[in-house]
């Protein structure tokens, strides 16, 4: 039904502008979450989780290992509804210390034939202070919440550490884990923070701040690092060495790619931004497998990228992922994909 009826309607919104469909979907879910009984009704269709699916990773118990990736609900406006679609956890953001509008529109493009998306959103969000207020109003969501934090565009790279620390400080009480996004291709210079020296300084400061709030370090709220799929194996190994040294709780692999694997001839391939969806299936699986092998399975991995079928999720689990996340797959396959993956876990 989603692919035959719902998806064509969404694709026509805003004269085909993918961002309009995104926003309309979010606001629809937000309204649904406010209707008494609506979330419960939706849960009966999509939200049932298979027996035996809960698992504990980096000290957090997840009712299902299938989560919503960052980027879909940056400001957390639809959080009550996501669990009803079958997600076992949700990652909000990426959020920055300063509110920012993001890059100029249009900035989100569907490559429908390739089941891919190119985005150059640029961390458009209302800021970490606004997100903290919203999360305080929600109270207990009934599932684990991850919070992705990034650098504000107006903040110079030399001041990036304080920018991240500010967001962590504001949001520390509300996240079950924190994802440090140093791999988006849409904020100038951000990926340089994946370099060993910069990354060590950033993660050390975040752990120190978390410890001072009595929620961090090795015994508190887990801090994860989200990496780019464009790193060479040696660069990944160098990054992993820093993460192990500092005491990072896990790795999220991967973000979007600046490459155009398999879509080079598409008319939209020249658009600037990160590519997600089917072209990342192979890259994400290989990256997860490399991280798992390099760390001997000691560092938990959230696998994300190119999940459009249950088999894609299972491949990431087989490669060493403890959890997986969806975003682009939800756009092309709808909430039925989450249900099918959850059923496959049985």
Can you give the pLDDT at residue 260?
Answer: 96
C-alpha 24, offset from chain centre:
20
Q: Which residue from 273, 235, 218 is spatially nearest to 108, judged by alpha carbons?
A: 273
Contact (CB, 8 A) for 327 and 254 = no
Q: Which of 64, 184, 276, 322 is catalytic?
A: 184
Can you give the pLDDT at residue 214?
Answer: 59
Please, where are the H alpha helices in the chain? Answer: 7-12, 18-33, 38-42, 79-82, 128-138, 160-171, 196-212, 233-246, 281-294, 310-319, 328-333, 336-344
Domain spans of the chain, in order of start? 2-344
* Bridge partner residues of 275 (DSSP): 118, 257
Can you give the pLDDT at residue 182?
Answer: 87
- One digit per residue, the tens of pLDDT, for the chain of length 346 reads 778 888 888 888 888 899 999 999 999 999 888 887 888 888 887 877 776 678 999 999 999 999 999 999 999 999 999 988 989 999 999 999 999 999 999 999 999 999 999 999 999 999 999 999 999 999 999 899 999 999 999 999 999 999 999 999 999 999 999 999 988 887 878 888 888 888 999 999 998 888 777 544 434 589 999 999 999 999 999 999 999 999 999 999 999 999 999 999 999 999 999 999 999 999 999 999 999 999 999 999 999 999 999 999 999 999 999 999 999 999 999 989 999 999 888 7
Can you give the pLDDT at residue 32?
Answer: 86
Q: Is 276 a catalytic residue?
A: no
Tokens of 273: 């931004």
For residues 80 and 32, give the distance between their C-alpha atoms in angstroms, rounded to a whole number.
Answer: 9
How many separate helices (H) and strands (E) can be counted in the chain?
12, 13
Contact (CB, 8 A) for 81 and 236 = no
CB atoms under 10 Å from CB of 346, counted, come to 9
Can you give the pLDDT at residue 215?
Answer: 46
* CATH fold for the domain made of 2-344: TIM Barrel (3.20.20)
Can you give the pLDDT at residue 289?
Answer: 98
* Bridge partner residues of 89 (DSSP): 67
């Amino acid at each position: 039904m989603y692919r035959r009826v719902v998806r064509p309607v969404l694709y026509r919104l805003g004269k085909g502008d993918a961002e309009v469909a995104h926003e309309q979907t979010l606001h629809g879910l937000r309204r649904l979450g406010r209707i008494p009984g609506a979330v419960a009704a939706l849960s009966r269709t999509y939200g049932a989780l298979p027996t035996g699916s809960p698992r504990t990773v980096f000290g957090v118990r997840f009712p299902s290992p299938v989560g919503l990736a960052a980027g879909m609900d940056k400001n957390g406006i639809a959080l009550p509804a996501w669990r009803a679609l079958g997600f076992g956890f949700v990652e909000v953001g990426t959020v920055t210390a300063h509110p920012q509008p993001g890059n100029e529109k249009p900035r989100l493009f569907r490559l429908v034939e390739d089941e891919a998306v190119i985005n150059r959103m640029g961390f458009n969000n209302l800021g970490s202070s606004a997100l903290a207020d919203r999360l305080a109003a929600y109270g207990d969501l009934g599932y684990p919440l991850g919070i992705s934090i990034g650098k504000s565009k107006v903040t110079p790279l030399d001041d990036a550490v304080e920018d991240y620390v500010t967001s962590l400080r504001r949001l520390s009480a509300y996240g079950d884990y924190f994802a440090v996004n140093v791999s988006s291709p849409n904020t100038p210079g951000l990926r340089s923070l994946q370099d060993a020296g910069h990354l060590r300084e950033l993660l050390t400061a975040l752990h120190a701040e978390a410890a001072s709030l009595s929620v961090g370090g090795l015994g508190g709220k887990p801090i994860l690092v989200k990496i780019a799929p464009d790193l060479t194996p040696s660069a990944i190994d160098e990054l992993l060495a820093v993460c192990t040294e500092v005491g990072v709780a896990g790795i999220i692999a991967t973000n979007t790619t600046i490459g155009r694997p398999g879509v080079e001839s598409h008319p939209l391939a020249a658009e600037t931004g990160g590519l997600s969806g089917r072209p990342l299936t192979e890259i994400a699986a290989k990256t997860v497998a490399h991280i798992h092998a390099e760390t001997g399975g000691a560092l938990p991995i959230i696998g994300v990228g190119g999940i459009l079928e249950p088999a894609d999720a299972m491949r990431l689990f087989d490669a060493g992922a403890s959890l997986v996340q969806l975003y682009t797959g939800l756009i092309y396959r709808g909430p039925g994909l989450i249900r099918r993956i959850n059923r496959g876990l049985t």
